[in-house]
Amino acid sequence: MQFGEWKTGNFIERVFMENSNYVIITWYQVSLTLLCCCAAGMLLAWLRTKLERQLLWALTRMVVQLSAIGFVLQWIFEWHHIGITLGWILLSTLIASLAAIKRIRRHFRHERIVAIVAVAGSSWPILVAALLIIRPQPITSAAFAIPLLGMILGNSLNAISLAIDRFRDGLHQDRERVENLLTLGASSWEASREIAADAIRVGLLPMINTMTVTGVVSLPGMMTGQLLSGVSPLEAIKYQIVILALIATTTTLGCLLAVWLTFRQSFSKWHAIIPETLARHI
Amino acid sequence: MTPDTFVFSTLIVKNLTRKNSQPPSQTLLLEAVNFKLKCGDRIALQGKSGSGKSLLMRAVVGLDPIDSGDVLLNGRTLNSDWICQFRAEVAYVPQRCSLLPGTVRQNLERAKQLRVHKLKVYNFDYSQALAEIGYSSELLDRDVQLLSGGELQLVNLLRTLQFSPQVLLLDEPTAAMDVATTAQVEKWLLSWQAADPQRAWIWISHDPNQCSRISNAVWRMENGQLH
């Protein structure tokens, strides 16, 4: 199957037709796997780990959330309206941005705007580029754009979150060193360049590690899903390479953008660190 | 371009005010501070802990924000456009020093790569300066992680003075040094100042004896006010 042949709406039916070895999972089979997980929870309860409730709660949430998203996506794919697709992209970008900033330990002014700009500024251009390169028919296909964006966002938000957190924490830990350089006449960028480089490294490391071991230690989730649904391995790896290349590009852009914007918000125009106590009031 | 291009005449601080930004307190940390530092001045700044001495020095060089007031160097009002050049000439030496990983020499040399100093030519002899303070030049090749608090302060002074600033704002620069080293550093700084009569400093110190040794005038800070 070629990327260009990807049709919206009835994509799943096409997969059924083209891949005769696809195994349809029934709700009965789904419930059996959930029972296995419940059994694992009972084991936790028997060992008095007090984790069984958390496991069951997470399991319930996962089932409810995935079911809900399944129905919503089914509706969006059938409806196939550009406005709904764009709305979905906006909403998921906003949620990813807020999730990215929620995990940082040291807050700063305009942090939400920084996260939104970093997430959107890195993922949207790459999504557009991917659509232009792959050219699904039609190019605004929700069945293509939405899962692709989801994978890009899921990875870039982690990288952006790690990079911002590392930069802010590094600035806090090395405040004296940075200020010592500033007193010598260093610009804020000269004084914090090493912290920024370290933050970018920390943000990119998980992605680099993942790419390094992909196919050797583990098979990525999307590729596994395609293999299970009957797509040939040679087709599946093409998708996987495309996805990982897009993720790597987005993550790199996102980290650079996030660290640059966080740097800009961490220093005043006087080349001085904005104190954390003032961060919320400026 | 040589380091002697800039000739200091006055550093004027006008109505420098800083409020406590953390609500609900609206107390003044710096209350309309005014002073004029002229070339050749050696000022000792005294005051209780928390009276605002360090905050004043940090505010003058723009490291801490202010609510109102002006700083003028040679009659030119300080703004954010030339703050880096200002700091190169009006050097604030904080009490605590943190260096980059590596040797002392690497730290001293690395500071020369800053954009504001890169194109200038400095003829500062580290070994000679250390000898004047009673230290061997072996200190230059020591890892900064092995330095004591006093040695860190000494390296910070070397790192600052190698750029021949015209004004020094010294925040207890010998607080972590022993008595003998303190005396040597004082002597060294006095001879450094005497070498160029334009040079001036404000030296924060809690020791009245030190104040009398290193200054020709004493200012006092109390509750954010300068007397």
pLDDT digits (tens, 9 = 90+) for B131-185: 999 999 999 999 999 999 999 999 999 999 999 999 999 999 999 999 999 999 9
CA A27 to chain CA mean position, Å: 29
Residues in contact with B183: Cβ distance below 8 Å, sequence separation at least 6, in sequence order: none
- Chain B contact for A105, CB < 8 A? no
Q: Would you give the DSSP letter of residue A216?
A: T
- Those residues of chain B that have pLDDT short of 50 are 1-3
Q: How far is CA B84 from CA A31, A270, B157, in A?
A: 66, 9, 18
In this predicted structure, what is the pLDDT of residue B25? 66
Residue length of chain A = 282
Residue length of chain B = 227
- Chain B contact for A23, CB < 8 A? no
Q: What DSSP element (H or E) covers B120? A: none
Q: Would you give the DSSP letter of residue B51?
A: S
| A14 pLDDT more than 70 | no
- The token pair that represents A170 in the structure block: 């590094």
Edge to edge, the sheet with strand B76-77 lists B28-38, B10-19, B68-73, B76-77
Looking up tokens 């999504």, which residue turns up?
Answer: A127
More confident residue, A15 or A126: A126
Please state whether the peptide bond connecting residue A138 to the residue before it is cis, i.e. omega within 30 degrees of 0. yes
Cross-chain CB nearest to B91 (options A183, A272, A275): A183
Do A271 and B91 lie within an 8 Å CB cutoff? no
pTM listed for this prediction:
0.84
From the CA of A118, how many Å to the nearest CA of chain B? 27
List the Cα angle B199/B204/B210 in 5-degree steps. 90
How many Å apart are CA A55 and CA A39, to the nearest integer?
11
Q: Residue A21: pLDDT band by 50, 70, 90 thresholds? A: low
pLDDT digits (tens, 9 = 90+) for A231-267: 888 888 888 898 889 999 999 999 999 999 999 999 9
Instruction: Find out whether A167 and A195 touch, Cβ atoms under 8 Å.
Output: yes
Chosen from A171, A173, A183 to mutate, greatest number of chain B CBs within 10 A: A183
Q: What are phi and psi of B40, to 5 degrees?
A: 85, -10
Looking up tokens 């125009």, which residue turns up?
Answer: A269
Residues in contact with B7: Cβ distance below 8 Å, sequence separation at least 6, in sequence order: B166, B198
Amino acid at B127: S
In this predicted structure, what is the pLDDT of residue A280? 42
Size of interface A-B (CB pairs under 8 A): 80
Pairing verdict, β B167-171 and B10-19:
unpaired
Cross-chain CB nearest to B63 (options A185, A272, A277): A272
- Chain B contact for A127, CB < 8 A? no
pLDDT digits (tens, 9 = 90+) for A78-107: 887 889 999 999 999 999 999 889 878 899
- Chain A contact for B87, CB < 8 A? yes
Instruction: Find out whether B169 and B9 touch, Cβ atoms under 8 Å.
Output: no
